[in-house]
Amino acid sequence: MSCVRVLPFAMTQVDDRHACVGSLTEDGRWVRPEPVTLDMVDRAFVYRTWTELALVPSAHPDARPEDRAMLQAPRPLGRIDAAAWKELAERHLDPDVLTALGGERSLGLVKASIERLYLKRSTGGRRFVRMVFTDRASRTYDWIVPELRLRRLIERHAQGDRIDPRAEEHVRRALNDAEIYLCLGLTKPNHRLPGQFRGCHPLVVGLHALPEPEELTS
């Protein structure tokens, strides 16, 4: 068992009880502590706040490289300021999407601009927030966004299966006026769609902006 300090960069909802958190350790390793419940998010795991965890390697046979078993309740520590957060983020920033999720990795961090936010239903009828974004290699992607803050914000402006156009434009402009950092993640492989990322679905699992617009914090 090892106790480490981590800084959350990604927080998503898995189901009615569980969440997924992607974090950077002080020495720059990506980790996914498991299991995480929804009540831990915003209480024990908070953006820009260090959290102490007791972790061991995951015992799951399909574990991703970053997956770790969490042995005791996470303990939130001190909050860091924007300058310290930016220094850490820039140190571990990937140049583009393909690098961020290359090799065996399932978490990475890129800078991007947002082209569009919208809602779309899956073939199973579930409604998702989606983002069209462009990375620093000028490649454009259209991915599902399960990240909790943006999802909650967009859902407030949903009109059926669409986002109020004025609200979408306002949120997108507020974000693009800042430096946007996207934390990207991969699901575990399902092998039905081999695709570009080893049979995994790519997602936007964390959204950060400097300076942080009030739309994200309200």
How high does pLDDT run on average in the chain? 91
106 in a structural domain? yes
Same domain for 100 and 182, yes or no, is yes
Confidence band of 11 (pLDDT split at 50, 70, 90): very high
Residues 6+ apart with CB under 8 A from 192: 199
Cis peptide before 95 (omega within 30 of 0): no
* CATH label of the domain that carries residue 170: 2.40.50
Residue 186 to residue 151: CA distance in whole angstroms: 18
Q: Report yes or no on 194 lying in a domain.
A: yes
Which of the four pLDDT bands, split at 50, 70 and 90, describes residue 164?
A: very high
Q: Of 147-151, 193-197, 205-209, 212-216, where does the model show the most confidence?
A: 205-209
In this prediction, residue 8 carries a pLDDT of 97
In this predicted structure, what is the pLDDT of residue 104?
86
pLDDT-derived band at 1 (thresholds 50, 70, 90) equals low
- Give which of 68, 62, 18 is closest to 41, Cα–Cα: 18
Domain count, the chain: 2
Decide if 193 contacts 149 (C-beta within 8 A). no
3-state secondary structure the chain: CEEEEEEEEEEEECCCCEEEEEEEECCCCEEEEECEEHHHECCCECCCEEEEEEEEECCCCCCCCCEEEECCCCEEEEECCHHHHHHHHHHCCCCCHHHHCCCCCCEEEEEEEEEEEEEEECCCCCEEEEEEEEECCCCEEEEECCEHHHHHHHHHCEECCEECHHHHHHHHHHHHCCEEEEEEEECCCCCCCCCCCCCCCEEEEEEEEECCCHHHHC
Tell me whether residue 86 is in a domain. Answer: no
Counting residues of the chain whose pLDDT is more than 90, the rounded percentage is: 67
98-127 pLDDT, tens digit per residue, is 999 988 889 999 999 999 999 998 777 788
Q: How many other CB atoms sit within 10 Å of the CB of residue 129?
A: 22
Whole-model pTM: value is 0.93
Nearest CA-CA partner of 79 in 38, 118, 51 = 51
Is the same domain home to 30 and 107? no
For residues 169 and 167, give the distance between their C-alpha atoms in angstroms, rounded to a whole number.
5
Residues 135 and 207 placed together within one structural domain of the fold: yes
pLDDT tens sequence across 17-34: 899 999 999 999 999 999
Q: Would you place residue 43 in the very low, low, confident or very high pLDDT band (cuts 50, 70, 90)?
A: confident
Last residue of a domain, one of 80, 105, 139: 80
The whole domain housing 120 covers 93-217
Angle at 13 between CA 80 and CA 24, to 5 degrees: 35
Determine, yes or no, domain membership for 198: yes
